[in-house]
């Protein structure tokens, strides 16, 4: 099959369209002709040789896809050749074919194009996992979403709104903040205007927030701890700004705070199936009637995978960068 392959590791230029072995599907799996996939920060790290795929996963980049079922495993009930599906992958999305556990397949809403469906799995499931499973989000709570205009951020702001909770966002430009507000954030802070903690304290009237979704890591750690309310939870989802931080453990103890490191990709297949099915029950009706929307910045043809990676590295995107698999 055709696939985006890597000539070694390094910058975007190592990506080219080439040939790879097509996946075999097992009795519990669907074989899908991929029509669209989408970029994730993990792809950039893997391309640089800094994030090897988990054992057993494809070496090909790509953590999600949307496409058409072309073969159904003998033990899969309820699926037919021609069904339009989208799903999370442990790797292998930048390719003509992918094999997925049937229990992880979600049906694409009728009104959605493949490019729209491909923009959903990784960022929405990451946001769902961190807000609901790990964060224990309840209606009325307050959440701070860093990198609010990122793929995960734009998904999280919408899920928080749908949960009847309140979100605040940080981002690196006034335009990005505007987009966060349009998606449902109550207020936003451009971090180029100074530290976010004093702003957050003021707009929450000193209460702070119950959950923080953080992708920045070390440079935000002290401010994050300061910004949490009693029993608050800090989710470390990414470390875009650095990994080494120090903490006053007394603060964690006296305010009963939790700091939780989290990774979706390395979770078991059983966990991902349970997560996908719970998410699908919550989100698919909302995607179908427009309450939730995939946020797409740009669609590239997969021949332009290198340009798409360079674009993500420029931090310009709001929401997802999609690759059309032609």
- By CB under 6 A, name the binding residues for ligand NAP: 40-42, 122-123, 126, 147, 149-152, 171-173, 176, 215-216, 237-238, 240-241, 262-264, 312, 315, 317
Q: Considering beta carbons, is residue 164 or 242 the nearer one to ligand NAP?
A: 242
Distance from CA of residue 218 to its chain's centroid?
A: 20
Please state the closest distance from residue 229 (CB atom) to ligand NAP, in A: 23
Please state the closest distance from residue 45 (CB atom) to ligand NAP, in A: 7
Q: Considering beta carbons, is residue 20 or 213 the nearer one to ligand NAP?
A: 213
Strand positions, DSSP E, the chain:
2-6, 15-19, 29-38, 64-72, 84-88, 97-101, 106-107, 142-145, 166-171, 187-190, 209-214, 228-236, 258-261, 296-301, 320-324
Q: Considering beta carbons, is residue 186 or 262 the nearer one to ligand NAP?
A: 262
Which of 123, 132, 120 minimizes the C-alpha distance to 211?
132
Please state the closest distance from residue 153 (CB atom) to ligand NAP, in A: 6
Please state the closest distance from residue 206 (CB atom) to ligand NAP, in A: 25
Residues 209, 202: Cα–Cα separation, whole Å: 12
Q: Considering beta carbons, is residue 28 or 262 the nearer one to ligand NAP?
A: 262
Residue nearest to ligand NAP (CB): 238
Instruction: Enter the tokens of residue 272.
Output: 């991902």
Q: Considering beta carbons, is residue 14 or 218 the nearer one to ligand NAP?
A: 218
Within 8 A by CB and 6+ apart from 309, the residues are 12, 15, 39, 43, 44, 47
């Amino acid at each position: 099959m055709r696939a985006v392959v890597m000539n070694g590791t390094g910058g975007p230029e190592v990506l080219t369209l080439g040939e790879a072995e097509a996946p075999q599907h097992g009795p519990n799996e669907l074989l899908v002709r991929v029509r669209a996939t989408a970029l994730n920060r993990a792809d950039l790290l893997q391309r640089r040789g800094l994030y090897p795929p988990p054992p057993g996963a494809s070496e090909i980049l790509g953590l999600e896809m949307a496409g058409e079922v072309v073969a159904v495993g003998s033990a899969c009930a309820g699926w037919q050749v021609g069904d339009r599906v989208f799903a999370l992958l442990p790797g292998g999305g930048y390719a003509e074919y992918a094999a997925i556990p049937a229990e992880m397949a979600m049906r694409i809403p009728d009104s959605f194009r493949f490019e729209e469906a491909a923009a959903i799995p990784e960022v929405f499931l990451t946001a769902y996992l961190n807000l609901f499973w790990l964060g224990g989000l309840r209606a009325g709570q307050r959440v701070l979403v860093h990198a609010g205009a990122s793929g995960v951020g734009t998904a999280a702001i919408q899920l928080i709104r749908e949960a009847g909770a309140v979100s605040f966002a940080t981002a690196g430009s006034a335009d990005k903040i505007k987009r966060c507000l349009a998606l449902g954030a109550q207020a936003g802070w451009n971090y180029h205007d100074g530290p976010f903690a004093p702003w957050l304290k003021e707009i929450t009237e000193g209460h702070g927030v119950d959950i923080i979704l953080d992708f920045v890591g070390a440079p935000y750690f002290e401010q994050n701890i300061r910004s949490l309310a009693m029993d608050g939870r800090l989710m470390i989802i990414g470390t875009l700004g650095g990994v080494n931080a120090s903490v006053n453990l007394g603060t964690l103890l006296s305010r009963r705070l939790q700091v939780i490191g989290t990774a979706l990709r390395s979770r078991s297949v059983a966990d991902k199936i349970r997560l996908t099915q719970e998410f699908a029950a919550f989100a698919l009706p909302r995607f179908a009637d427009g309450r939730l929307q995939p946020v797409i910045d740009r669609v590239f043809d997969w021949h332009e995978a290198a340009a798409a990676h360079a674009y993500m590295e420029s931090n310009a995107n709001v929401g997802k960068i999609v690759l059309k698999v032609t």
